[in-house]
């Protein structure tokens, strides 16, 4: 298994608006809370260290692929 370190960081965005807010694109959210008709705040909920297997599973859960970090689905380095 890889000895590299990986991190998972949760960033939460709170939006206050006059209508239901459904945008999920970060660029749109940023625009709406800095120049648009919404108020917002970003909160960093912290980082957590992950091993190779954990980050492989997290990548798959996101709809990405472990090869993004050049590892296989077991967290081993691809050489």
Asked if residue 27 is part of any domain, the answer here is yes
The pLDDT, as a whole number, for residue 79 is 80
Mean pLDDT by 10 residues, the chain (79 residues): 90 96 90 96 97 97 96 94
Does residue 21 lie in a domain region? Answer: yes
Q: With respect to residue 1, please indicate whether it lies within any of the assigned structural domains.
A: no
27 in Cβ contact with 3 (< 8 Å): no
Count of structural domains, the chain: 1
Residue 77 lies in a domain: no
> Could you tell me which of 9, 3, 1 has the C-alpha nearest to residue 44?
9
Does a structural domain hold residue 31? yes
What is the residue range of 49's domain?
A: 6-69
Residue 74 lies inside a defined structural domain of this protein: no
- Cα dihedral sign, 16-20-22-27: negative
Which residue, 38, 39, 79, 73, is CA-closest to 58?
73
């Amino acid at each position: 298994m890889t000895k590299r370190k990986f991190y998972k960081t949760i960033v939460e965005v709170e939006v206050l608006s006059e209508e239901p807010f459904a945008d999920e694109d970060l660029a749109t959210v940023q625009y709406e809370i800095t120049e648009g008709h919404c108020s917002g705040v970003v909160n960093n909920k912290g980082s957590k260290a992950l091993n190779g297997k954990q980050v492989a599973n997290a990548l798959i859960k996101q709809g990405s692929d472990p090869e993004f970090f050049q590892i296989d689905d077991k967290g081993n380095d691809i050489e």
